[in-house]
């Protein structure tokens, strides 16, 4: 089976690797224990050294920080915690000098309840901005208008005593949902897009992209026949329903087509990209967000690798299903970790995290690399008094707490890992093993996770077969191995991954002479006989096969 042929003509967002920065946790420049824009600017050399192509910043807008920036109170400014617009402009200019693109988080589904739009909207039923949010009357018994639930617990409706109606919030009650069916909202939010694209931003990561258009009749969601089977992750009562009506109404596609037209206008000067956060694991459904004519999102984000059981059969099945679902010409992408999910090194273990890194950086499609995963950062234990995450506070103990994967970046072995001055407390605790697990130590260790990540990025960048080539899975490998070929013109690379801690013996089809280019153990290279390829526990290899 061979999927979409390699493409010669590609954009930066297809060839490139995206590095996600959680700004609060990357580098503190002014000694308040919270990362900021000057901190990121100071580390741009690191991104160039590492070999990534773009940085995506989680939100840096003014915000009451109920959800650490995903509750925006002004879409066209920077929160003083992070800096100001001048610092942002400097960041974009310097990133571009470093040959790095900048992707901004764009949060269209909801604002903060402190946003002037919402303050106006809730001030009276007759305010011109009333319809900018989703307001509805109670049912006759006074209860919420329907059974929709917030992701972080309880009804998605909050009663407003002053105006005697409920407003909708898909997440926290301090994050009311905008009404994208209102044309003025759409225009105002498209103006926000223009504002950042005019400032030179190269792309948008669209938060909660599937949620912005709901059922206009506000119908009740049906019950989930098997709440134990969750599409995504444990979210308490939220998983007791099938979310048919509270997101993803078909009218959403017209909005994304229009947004794409806006992006396309800007792309004539330099290509811009939209990545949509999309928790859809039914791949044909997910693929619809590319648009029937590839005229919607450039890439709906693919979180399959985040929730797939970590075994070779399941991972291959996922990749094959994604490839099969892609409309012709659509470009795939893979996410292995982010600010909402447990660290990959915790999920699958430090040894397999190296195999995961090789997988992420050799699959066909744009990889997103979460800060710190390149040094194997793991979930950090958060003592109860240090919990920050609103989802953990609302739903304690059921698992979605997100502080553990948001701990500060570990730069070196100085106090607070070089993230902030020793005299201040970082906003979240630093991993206790930072004296060993840090960028400086791993730069000096040629077998480290960081050395592996950097070598893989370098190989990907210089190998068209990996950057843009086709993907063909190879049958007949041992059950614990995932083997595939990437090909561009005559260039072929075989990737053989052992997803177990047992040794494996592979008899691969004769492909002529072959040479190991890199092993995840970083200790072997050179000729190899594919008729009897031996993989050690937790080992993956990239192998050059004859042209």
Q: Element (H or E) spanning 14, and its range?
A: helix 12-15
Question: Helices 350-360 and 449-462: crossing angle, nearest 10°?
Answer: 10
- In contact, 389 and 403? CB cutoff 8 Å: yes
First to last CA, the chain: 20
Position among 36, 340, 374, 392 found at the interface with ligand GLC (CB under 6 A): 340
Closest CB 520 distance from ligand GLC, rounded Å: 29
> Given CA atoms 190, 193, 195, 197 in this order, what sign does their dihedral have?
negative
Q: Which two tokens stand for residue 215?
A: 């059922």
Closest CB 82 distance from Ca ion, rounded Å: 8
Closer CB to Ca ion, 32 or 220, in the complex: 32
339 binds ligand GLC (CB under 6 A): yes
Closer CB to Ca ion, 407 or 457, in the complex: 407
Q: Which does 339 bind (CB under 5 to 8 A by kind): ligand GLC, Ca ion, none?
A: ligand GLC
Mask for 87-126, x = binds ligand GLC (CB under 6 A): --------------------x-------------------
Closer CB to ligand GLC, 255 or 456, in the complex: 255
Cα–Cα distance, 304 to 322 (Å, whole number): 9
Q: Which does 403 bind (CB under 5 to 8 A by kind): Ca ion, ligand GLC, none?
A: none
Q: Are strands 366-370 and 470-473 parallel, antiparallel or unpaired?
A: unpaired
Helix, strand, coil in percent for the chain, rounding step 5: 30, 15, 50
Closest CB 71 distance from ligand GLC, rounded Å: 7
Residue among 36, 177, 246, 277 flagged as catalytic:
277
Q: Which residues contact 411 (CB under 8 A, 6 or more apart)?
A: 27, 417, 418, 419, 438, 439, 440
Q: Element (H or E) spanning 305, and its range?
A: helix 304-307
Query: What's the burial of 180, exposed, middle or buried (CB within 10 Å: 0-12/13-18/19+)?
Result: buried
Residue 277 known to be catalytic = yes
Q: Which does 389 bind (CB under 5 to 8 A by kind): ligand GLC, Ca ion, none?
A: none
Closer CB to Ca ion, 34 or 330, in the complex: 34
- In contact, 109 and 156? CB cutoff 8 Å: no
130 binds ligand GLC (CB under 6 A): no
Closest CB 111 distance from ligand GLC, rounded Å: 10
Closest CB 260 distance from Ca ion, rounded Å: 36
Cα–Cα distance, 120 to 132 (Å, whole number): 10
Q: Which two tokens stand for residue 277?
A: 């956060």
Q: Which does 207 bind (CB under 5 to 8 A by kind): Ca ion, ligand GLC, none?
A: ligand GLC
Alpha helices in 65-182 (DSSP H): 85-97, 116-123
Residue 207 known to be catalytic = yes
Residues 368-427 that bind ligand GLC (CB under 6 A): none
Residue among 207, 296, 392, 405 flagged as catalytic:
207
Q: Which does 67 bind (CB under 5 to 8 A by kind): Ca ion, ligand GLC, none?
A: ligand GLC
Q: Which does 340 bind (CB under 5 to 8 A by kind): ligand GLC, Ca ion, none?
A: ligand GLC
**Distance of alpha carbon 378 from its chain centroid, rounded?**
17
Q: Which does 36 bind (CB under 5 to 8 A by kind): ligand GLC, Ca ion, none?
A: Ca ion
Residues 305-324 that bind ligand GLC (CB under 6 A): none
Closest CB 221 distance from ligand GLC, rounded Å: 19
Closer CB to Ca ion, 28 or 67, in the complex: 28
Cα–Cα distance, 521 to 363 (Å, whole number): 19
Beta-carbon count within 10 A of 515 CB:
13
Closest CB 207 distance from ligand GLC, rounded Å: 5
Number of residues that bind ligand GLC (CB under 6 A): 9
Closest CB 64 distance from ligand GLC, rounded Å: 13
171 binds ligand GLC (CB under 6 A): yes
Residues 1-60 that bind Ca ion (CB under 5 A): 28, 30, 32, 34, 36
Closer CB to ligand GLC, 339 or 492, in the complex: 339
Q: Which residue is nearest to ligand GLC (CB)?
A: 70
- In contact, 358 and 330? CB cutoff 8 Å: no
277 binds ligand GLC (CB under 6 A): yes
Closer CB to Ca ion, 36 or 79, in the complex: 36
Closest CB 505 distance from ligand GLC, rounded Å: 42
Position among 63, 208, 274, 520 found at the interface with ligand GLC (CB under 6 A): 208
Q: Element (H or E) spanning 38, and its range?
A: helix 37-42
- In contact, 353 and 344? CB cutoff 8 Å: yes
Cα–Cα distance, 337 to 70 (Å, whole number): 18
Closest CB 70 distance from ligand GLC, rounded Å: 3
Beta-carbon count within 10 A of 412 CB:
16
Counting other chains too, the contacts that 518-525 makes at CB distance below 8 Å and 24 or more residues apart are 518/455, 518/456, 518/459, 518/542, 520/354, 520/355, 520/357, 520/358, 520/452, 521/354, 521/447, 522/446, 522/447, 522/451, 522/452, 522/455, 523/447
177 binds ligand GLC (CB under 6 A): no
Q: Which does 28 bind (CB under 5 to 8 A by kind): ligand GLC, Ca ion, none?
A: Ca ion
Catalytic residues: 207, 277
Instruction: State the residues that interact with ligand GLC by CB under 6 A.
Output: 67, 70, 107, 171, 207-208, 277, 339-340
Residues forming contacts to Ca ion in the complex (CB under 5 A) are 28, 30, 32, 34, 36
């Amino acid at each position: 089976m061979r999927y979409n042929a390699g493409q010669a003509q590609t954009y930066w967002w297809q060839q490139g690797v995206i590095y996600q920065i959680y700004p609060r946790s990357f580098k503190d420049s002014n000694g308040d224990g919270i990362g900021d824009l000057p901190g990121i600017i100071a580390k741009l050399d690191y991104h160039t050294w590492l070999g990534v192509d773009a940085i995506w910043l989680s939100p840096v807008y003014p915000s009451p920080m109920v959800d650490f920036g995903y509750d925006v109170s002004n879409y066209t400014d920077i929160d003083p915690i992070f800096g100001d617009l001048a610092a942002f402009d400097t960041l974009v200019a310097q990133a571009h000098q470093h040959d790095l693109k900048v992707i901004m988080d764009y949060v269209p589904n909801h604002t903060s309840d402190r946003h002037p739009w919402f303050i106006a909207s809730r001030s009276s039923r007759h305010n011109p901005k009333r319809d900018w949010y989703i307001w509805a009357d109670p049912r006759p018994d006074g209860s919420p208008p329907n059974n929709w639930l917030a992701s972080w617990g309880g009804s998605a409706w909050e009663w407003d005593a002053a105006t005697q109606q409920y407003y909708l919030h898909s997440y926290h009650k301090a994050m009311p949902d905008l009404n994208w069916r209102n044309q003025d909202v759409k225009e105002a939010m498209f103006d926000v897009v223009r504002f950042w694209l005019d400032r030179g931003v190269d792309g948008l990561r669209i938060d909660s992209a599937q949620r912005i258009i709901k059922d206009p009749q506000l119908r009740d969601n049906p019950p989930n026949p098997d709440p134990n089977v969750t599409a995504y992750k444990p979210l308490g009562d939220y998983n007791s329903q099938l979310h048919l009506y509270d997101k993803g109404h078909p009218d959403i596609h017209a909005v994304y087509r229009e947004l794409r037209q806006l992006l396309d206008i800007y792309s004539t000067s330099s290509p811009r990209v939209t990545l949509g956060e999309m928790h859809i694991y039914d791949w044909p459904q997910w693929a619809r967000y590319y648009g029937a004519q590839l005229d919607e999102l450039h890439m709906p984000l693919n979180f399959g690798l985040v929730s797939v059981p970590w075994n070779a059969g399941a991972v291959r099945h996922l990749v094959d299903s994604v490839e099969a679902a892609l409309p012709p010409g659509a470009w795939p992408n893979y996410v292995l970790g982010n600010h909402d999910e447990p660290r990959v090194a915790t999920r699958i273990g430090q040894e397999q995290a190296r195999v995961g890194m090789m997988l992420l950086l050799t699959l066909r499609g744009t990889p997103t690399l979460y800060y710190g995963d390149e040094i194997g950062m793991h979930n950090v234990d958060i003592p109860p008094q240090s919990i920050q995450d609103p989802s953990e506070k609302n739903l304690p103990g059921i698992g979605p707490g997100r502080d553990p994967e948001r701990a500060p970046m570990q730069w070196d072995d100085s106090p607070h890992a070089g993230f902030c001055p020793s005299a201040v407390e970082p906003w979240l605790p630093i991993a206790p093993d930072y004296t060993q697990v840090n960028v400086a130590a791993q730069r000096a260790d040629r077998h480290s996770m960081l050395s592996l990540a950097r070598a893989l990025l370098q190989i990907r960048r210089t190998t068209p077969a990996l950057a843009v080539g086709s993907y063909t899975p190879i049958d007949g490998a041992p059950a614990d191995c995932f083997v595939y070929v990437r090909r561009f013109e005559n260039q072929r690379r075989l990737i053989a991954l052992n997803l177990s801690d047992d040794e494996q013996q592979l008899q691969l089809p004769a492909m002529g002479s072959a040479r190991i280019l890199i092993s995840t153990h970083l200790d072997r290279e050179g000729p190899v006989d594919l008729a009897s390829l031996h993989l050690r526990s937790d080992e993956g290899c990239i192998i050059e096969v004859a042209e």
